[in-house]
Structure formats: C-alpha cells, structure tokens
Amino acid sequence: MKPKHVMVDLKGQARSFFRIKSNLFWVFAFPLLLIVIFGAIFSNMGVGTVTLKVQNLDEGAGSQELLVSLNQTGMVKLEFIDPSTDLDQYVKDNSLAHVMVIPANYSANLAANVTATVELRLDETVSTSGTVFNAVNGVVNAKNLRMAGGEVHIAIEVGSIVQKRFTFLDFFVPGIIGLTIMTTCVFNVQGTISRFRANGIFRKLATTPMTPFEWLLSRILWHLFISFLTLAVIMGFGILLYGMNMTINLAVILMIVAGSAMFSALGMIVARFVKNEETASMAANAITFPMMFLSGTFFQLELMPTYLQQVAAVLPLTYMSQGLRDAMVYDNQAGAYFNLAVVAVIGVVFVIVAVLITKWEEE
C-alpha cells in the first residue's frame, strides 16, 4: 500500500466531484428540500391550529366576548363565514368538518338571563372534532361557572413527563443526515464503479502501479469527507433556520465514520455483483428505497405494524439514524453507542467483503 497513490486519487476526486452537477444536488439540495418540505407538513400537526369556521349572526357584545375567550385557548384558529351565507351549502362546498353558529339572539338571551345557545356541527369521524368540542365546551363551562358566581374547587396542574419537548424536526433531521449519507455513498460508489468498468478507466488503471485496494481506500476516505460535509450542511441548516438544538460528540463522529464506510462498501458490493451498469443502478435503488421508508426516517418505528418493525430491525440505516438521534438530540449516550456498535460490525463486514471482491477487471 502506497499512501501516495491514495492521495493522487483523493486529489482527483476533490477536483472533479463538485464539477458534476448531480453531486451538488444529492449532497446539498436534496436533504435541504426534504427538511423544508417535511418540516412544513409535519410541524403543523398537533400544534393548536385546528381551524374552526364561525358564522356569527349575533351583533351583541356577548358573542364577541365568547369568541375572544375561544381564541385565547389557542386550541382553535377562528375563521368567519359571512352571516348572509347559506350555511348548509357552504359546509357542503367546503367539506367542513366543524362549524359553529352563534344565533342572532345570543347576546339578547344572555342579557335577559334566558339560556343562550351556540350551535356546533361536528363531523365525529374527524379526529380534530374532539379538539373543537373540548375548546368550545371549556370556554362555555368557564363562562357558566363565572355567571353562576361559582368558585374553582378543583384545579388541574399540567406538567410534562419529558424533560425537553421534542418536535418533529428533532426526530426528522438526524434521520435525514443518515439517509443522505446512505444515498450519496451507495449511489456514488456504485455509479463510479459501474461507469469506470464500462468506459475502460479500470482497464487503464490496471496498467498503472495503483492497486485496487488503494483505489477503494481512497473512495471510502473521500465519501467520509462528503459525509461530514453532509452532517455540517444539514446541522447548520437546522440550527440556523429552525433554531434546533443538536450536539456533536464522539458518538456522532464515530457513527458518521462507521456509517459512511458501511454504505460506501455496500455500493462497491452492489457494483461488483451486478455487472451491467443500468441493472446495478436499479439494484442500488432496490436496496436503498426500502431503507428510506422503513428505517424510521420519516415516521417513528412504533407507528408501523409489527412485521414492518421486524423488517426495520435488519436494515442498517435504522441503527445509523437512531444512533444519530440518540447522540445528537436525545442525549442518550447508551443508546447511541449500542447503535454505533451495530453499524460498526456491519460496516467492518461490508468493507472486508468489498476489499476481497474488488479487482480491476474480470478475467
């Protein structure tokens, strides 16, 4: 092994890598797009933004007071329907799941000490209906209590059992780091080997003193660099744009090293066993695609059926993503090192296989 040969190939990669536009896309644009898109979709869920359409036919102060209280709960977002609108038609046209009507006599009844009514129409099959009912019910109860001159005898004190509140992005972003490292390493390494075999570069390299092992080592090292770049870009993005709280520690660094080497070696294995260039790229897809969706990048594993969880348990990306999450966000060092151990073992096996099967050309 001559370090000089490895350096020559590393230099070549450093010069050419970002001249290929698609590499820029996969390393930078793709992960950031995923974060922006999925961040936007999921961060709206579960945060007090159920929309409640209100048709207020009442012009008095009583209805205004009710709406202000309802708004203060933060559980619903109020939007108003013009009083002249045909409500039944409007509900149908807009497929509303919940709507509230304040009748014209609401304030008058309230002032006259006659029972005032608000009408709440709910679609019980929609999960947010419960939220709407609870919000309205709470406000109405509080008002009743106050008007009846009652006192609060039982109060609820709400506390959280988790020390930190984790958002969807806290869960999602470390997974995206793992996912991006997987796709970049597998596709790049497989693509390079298949291409170099087809266009004769390996035949040329075979006539030089460089050994296949030196070449392979250089490729693994280069993708290690790219993986750390991925980590830096995605972390920076999460911190700057979403104010996320992520830490770098030894476990994170070791996980990036192990995961990157593991996936680079996987790319080599795919390219060696599947000779045809196009078939090899399909094989790489076939291997990475299930991992994208089943390794708990987009959804928590607990939300998946048991048999899919069992599938996830044999996918290497599962451990890499979970380990990164444990180390970067959840501050769970024990979990991080367990996952690291799994990735390291798979990584070592893959790299050994890749070294053993790598040669310049088929006889």
Q: Which of 12, 46, 48, 236 binds other proteins (CB under 8 A)?
A: 12
Q: Which of 77, 146, 164, 203 contacts other proteins by CB under 8 A? A: 203
- Tell me which of 85, 94, 208, 245 binds other proteins, using CB under 8 A: 208
Q: Kindly state the smallest distance separating residue 214's Cβ from other proteins, in Å.
A: 9
Minimum CB–partner distance for residue 33 and other proteins (Å):
24
| 113 vs 347: CA distance, rounded Å | 76
Number of residues that bind other proteins (CB under 8 A): 23
Does 5 participate in binding other proteins (rule CB under 8 A)? yes
Which of these segments, 5-13, 66-74, 81-89, 330-338, binds other proteins (CB under 8 A)? 5-13
Toward other proteins, which CB reaches closer, 16 or 137? 16
Using CB under 8 A, pick the residue from 3, 149, 209, 243 that binds other proteins.
Answer: 209
92 phi, psi to nearest 5 deg: -65, -50
Q: Does 207 bind other proteins (CB under 8 A)?
A: yes
Quickly count: other Cβ atoms within 10 Å of residue 51's Cβ: 13
Alpha helices of the chain — where are they, by DSSP H?
3-16, 21-24, 30-43, 61-72, 87-94, 106-111, 128-147, 168-199, 201-205, 212-242, 250-273, 277-294, 306-312, 316-325, 333-357
C-alpha–C-alpha distance, residues 323 and 316, integer Å = 11
Cα–Cα–Cα angle for 33, 38, 43, rounded to 5 degrees: 135
Q: Exposed, middle or buried, 223 (CB in 10 Å: 0-12/13-18/19+)?
A: buried
Does 22 bind other proteins (CB under 8 A)? Our answer is no
Whichever of 9 and 326 has its CB closer to other proteins, that residue is: 9
Contact set with other proteins (CB under 8 A): 4-5, 7-9, 11-12, 15-16, 19-20, 199-201, 203-204, 206-210, 361, 363
